[in-house]
Structure 1
Amino acid sequence: MNTQEVANALVQFCREGKNFDAMNELYADNIVSEEPKGAHQEFTNGKEAVIGKSKQWFESVEEIHGGTVSDPIVSGNFFAVTMDTDVTFKGMGRVNMQEICVYEVKDGKIVFERFFYNIPEH
Structure 2
Amino acid sequence: MSKLLEKMSDLNDLVLQGKAMEAFEKYYDENVIMQENESEPIVGKEANRKREEEFFGNITEFRGANPLKVTLGENTTMVEWHYDYTHKEWGVRNYSQVSVQEWKDGKIIKEKFYYNN
TM-score normalized with structure 1 length: 0.86
Aligned partners of 2:69 and 2:81 also within 8 Å:
no
Distance 1:109 1:26 in 2: 5
Structure 1 runs not aligned, ≥5 long: none
Structure 2 runs not aligned, ≥5 long: none
| Equivalent residue, structure 2, for 1:44 | 42
Q: How does 1:9-88 map to 2 (within 5 A)?
A: 9-37=10-38, 42-70=40-68, 72-88=70-86
SS, match of residue 55 in structure 2: helix
Distance 2:66 2:111 in 1: 18
Work out the percentage of aligned pairs sharing the same amino acid: 29
- Would the alpha carbon gap of residues 71 and 16 (structure 1) be closer, same or farther in structure 2, given more than 3 Å must change? farther
TM-score normalized with structure 2 length: 0.89
Distance 2:112 2:99 in 1: 6
More strand by share: 2
Cα RMSD after superposing both structures? 1.7
Given the alignment, which residue of 111, 117, 120 partners 2:109? 111
SS, match of residue 37 in structure 2: coil
Aligned partners of 2:72 and 2:78 also within 8 Å:
yes
